[in-house]
Structure 1
Amino acid sequence: MSQCPFSNLLDPDTYKDGMPYKDLKEIRDAGPMVKIEDPITGIPYWAVTRIKEMDFVSKNPGLFSSAARSAFPMEMDEFTVEMQQNTIINMDPPLHQKVRRIVRNAFTPKRVDSYEAEFRKHAREIVDAVASQGECEFVEEVAAELPLIAILELLGVPLKDRKKFFQWTNTMIFADDPDMSISEEEGQLAAIEVIGYAMQLAAQHHEEPMDNITSALLDAELNGEPVSEDIFGWMFILILVGGNESTRTVMSQGMRLLMEHPEQLQYLVDNPDKISNAVEEMLRYNTAFISMRRTATEDVDVGGQLIKSGDKVILHYHTANHDEQVFGDDAMAFDVTRAERMPDLYNQLRSFGIGQHFCIGTHLARLELNVMFEEIIPRLRNPQFRGEPKYVRSFFVNAMKELNITFDPELAGATAA
């Protein structure tokens, strides 16, 4: 099949007004593996639209490689591809498992759960800062705060440098969006700044040892040798962006969805014990990372299509998360009660990927989302849009630039019980 009549899923303009739900359904209805032309780069690709085929591609790294080119969906020059080979996301077995093992212990459910009390304290302070105002720009003032605070604490970065990292992260992620006035070169320079900062932390750790993710990376061995500076630097960036941007995005999109469905928001006000179920639906309905890439290493049949060696394969997580064969005929509807009738929803969604590259920070993201919405929902009452939401022009990150809202101002001392 050719690109016509389908949208190019790797054109950032496809997403400039938000997720193109109807376009994605048309592609999904055409089959689980759809060949799409990309006139921007001239490189066609296979879009994986359903969960069964996504799982097959994701669980067979010998057939579909992350390292052969890159796991990132965008096209990059050879220098950038080579430079990013030190990023865990661009590794195949057995190296991938060895590097993953280094940071895995920092993200165990037991360790993450130990942060809950501190996260709740931060969440209350974040909502305290806006609750009495009756309005806020939700993305930066609310959604961005806890994920950034949390990941910087885990990396050993002082909170005084928080805004600096907020700006660096935006610069790296949003280079496709002209409204952000950011070039690809600026994105690369921001990455160099972050790596430079990481190297300063490494030097500090050798003088005064830390106990966090940074120290776990620095103290580990890979094939009997200390972790290289290149791998440490790129792992630092990946953890920073993955742990910050993804949760901020789901929180912003989740708030938008609740405001668009006020009866569902009221249901959660009345039934706060159901917020964790609602978080799963937010994760399903608007994934943070839209797509990743694999490269076929040999000819293989998937979903009735012959994928040839060297073909570009795009795992489109958002499309798969609306797979009617898994989530039912109402898969395109947002429903915070879905998990009540589908108890294994958290296992079925593919927002965190599947297989060897399953997101290592899954438990952390879920904890942050639950803690924040348990504070937001009872306190920011009767939220209304103040202007249209603004979305980031990107086929990689499903982020929001701006979500201006109003709500009933909270009276002094009237915080939630």
Structure 2
Amino acid sequence: MNKCPFADFQNLIDPDTYANGMPYDELARIRRSGPIHYMDDPTRGVPYWLVTGRDEIDFISKNPQLFSNEARTALADEFTQEEIDSIQSNMTINMDPPRQMKSRKIVRATFTPRAVDSYEARFREHAKNIVDKVASRGECEFVEEVAAELPLLAILELCGIPAEDRKDFFEWTNTMMFNQDSEMAVDQEAAQIASFHVIEYAMKLAAEHKDNPKDDIIGALLRGTEREEGLNEDEFVWFFLMLIAAGNESTRTVTSHGMRLLMDHPDQLEYLVENPDRIPGACEEMLRYNTAFILMRRTAMEDVEIAGKQISKGDKIILHYHTVNQDESIFGEDAMAFDVRRAERMPDLYNQHRAFGIGQHFCLGTHLARLEMRVMFEEIIPRLRHPKLAGPIEYTRSSLVNGIKRMPITFDPEVKQDEAAA
């Protein structure tokens, strides 16, 4: 079958496509026209297969021997072979099994549901303090003052990094993850410089561990488990870079969008005020409706047919998680609507969406992200009452992370108990 790029669809790996928010209607138009399309990309000059069907995404994700991360990275951008060899090949997200599995096995043992549940008291204390700082003011810039705080505090605390270094990591990870947005990273060189700062910090942590071993995530990665030897210094440095960036930005993003969606649907917000036990299910709907990572790339390692399309060895493949997460054939006729009660009708919602991917690169931080979201919204929803936008939402220009840069809001100022008594 001849490859004929679709010219009448938006280029879904162009960061400009997402500069004003997610193009829901365009995604629906593409999704409804079939599960896989051959698309042109004038911005990079390399056409690609856009995959929007869940069965197809699952098949590709579960067969790394056919569809590689390592060959050309998991990112939509085009890199020189030198860039791939010197930087990108060291990132776990850009590895294939078996090389990929070493760090994953160690982290999986560290982020078990039981281990993550043990963090709840600390996370709840942080979440309460975060809301305390803004509740009486009646206004805040939600992204930096609220959504960004707990994910960054949590991952830094779990890694034994002092709170006074939080601001540096906030700026470094912004520059690294949003290097397609000129406001957040001047250019690729700025992103590389930010990466080097994180790498230097990781090297310092590794050196400190040798002199004073610690019982935290850093210690677990370097020490290993009974079955797996620890990471060497090079492996640790690169894994730490990814852990800090992904562990921070992803949860911040879905928390920001979750608040946006609740403000857009005040009746649903009131339902959660009255039924706080439904907040965990609402968080699953937030994850489904606005995933943190928009898309990931694979490279075909041999000729293969998918959904009637003949994919050739070396072809670029883009897995678009947003489209599959709003598929009517999976989530019902109202799949494009946000509904915090969806999990009540669909108890396995958590298992049906692809917000955390699937297969060999399924997100290892799922339990952590869910805990952070739940704890944060359990503090936000009853206390930041009647929230409304106080200015335009500014989205990040990125085809990787579905981010919000700024979202000013107002709400009813919280009256302190002593003031109310007076």
Range into which the TM-score falls when normalised by the shorter chain: over 0.9
Distance 2:212 2:417 in 1: 42
Cα deviation per residue 1:251-310 (whole Å; 9 max; x = unaligned)?
A: 000000000011111111111110111000000000001011110001111112111110
SS of residue in 2 equivalent to 1:313: strand
Distance 1:413 1:183 in 2: 49
1:358 is aligned, of 362, 370, 395, to 362
List aligned pairs for 1:15-414, cutoff 5 A. Answer: 15-82=18-85, 83-220=87-224, 227-413=231-417
TM-score (norm 1): 0.97
1:242 maps to amino acid: A
SS of residue in 2 equivalent to 1:330: coil
Distance 2:239 2:130 in 1: 28
Distance 1:220 1:163, change over 3 A: same
Residues 49-58 or 224-233, more deviating:
224-233
Cα deviation per residue 1:318-348 (whole Å; 9 max; x = unaligned)?
A: 1111111111111111111001101100000
Aligned residue in 1 for 2:9: 6
Distance 1:145 1:224, change over 3 A: closer
Distance 1:98 1:234 in 2: 13
- The answer (yes or no) to whether the contact 1:389–1:402 under 8 Å persists in 2 is yes
Distance 1:401 1:224, change over 3 A: closer
Distance 1:168 1:36, change over 3 A: same
Distance 1:35 1:355, change over 3 A: same
- The answer (yes or no) to whether the contact 1:99–1:222 under 8 Å persists in 2 is no
- The answer (yes or no) to whether the contact 2:289–2:326 under 8 Å persists in 1 is yes
- The answer (yes or no) to whether the contact 1:98–1:222 under 8 Å persists in 2 is no
1:182 maps to amino acid: V
2:394 maps to amino acid: K
Distance 2:272 2:127 in 1: 18
Distance 1:9 1:211 in 2: 43
Q: CA RMSD in A?
A: 1.6
- The answer (yes or no) to whether the contact 1:84–1:234 under 8 Å persists in 2 is no
SS of residue in 1 equivalent to 2:405: strand
- The answer (yes or no) to whether the contact 2:175–2:185 under 8 Å persists in 1 is no
- The answer (yes or no) to whether the contact 2:253–2:404 under 8 Å persists in 1 is yes
Distance 1:55 1:385 in 2: 37
Distance 1:273 1:155 in 2: 31
Number of residue pairs aligned between Structure 1 and Structure 2: 415
Distance 2:339 2:228 in 1: 50
Distance 1:163 1:226, change over 3 A: same
- The answer (yes or no) to whether the contact 2:124–2:376 under 8 Å persists in 1 is yes
1:133 maps to amino acid: R
Distance 1:150 1:225 in 2: 26
Which consecutive residues of structure 2, in runs of 5 or more, have no partner in the other structure? none
Cα deviation per residue 1:20-40 (whole Å; 9 max; x = unaligned)?
A: 001111111121111110001
Distance 1:202 1:303 in 2: 47
Distance 1:332 1:224 in 2: 43
Query: How much has 1:180 moved relative to structure 2?
Result: 2.5
Which consecutive residues of structure 1, in runs of 5 or more, have no partner in the other structure? none
Identity %: 61
Distance 2:319 2:386 in 1: 37
Cα deviation per residue 1:40-71 (whole Å; 9 max; x = unaligned)?
A: 11100111102111100001111101111101
Distance 1:225 1:355, change over 3 A: closer
- The answer (yes or no) to whether the contact 2:44–2:77 under 8 Å persists in 1 is no
Cα deviation per residue 1:338-379 (whole Å; 9 max; x = unaligned)?
A: 011011000001000001111000000000000000000000
Distance 2:344 2:225 in 1: 44
Distance 2:229 2:363 in 1: 26
SS of residue in 2 equivalent to 1:180: coil
SS of residue in 2 equivalent to 1:17: coil
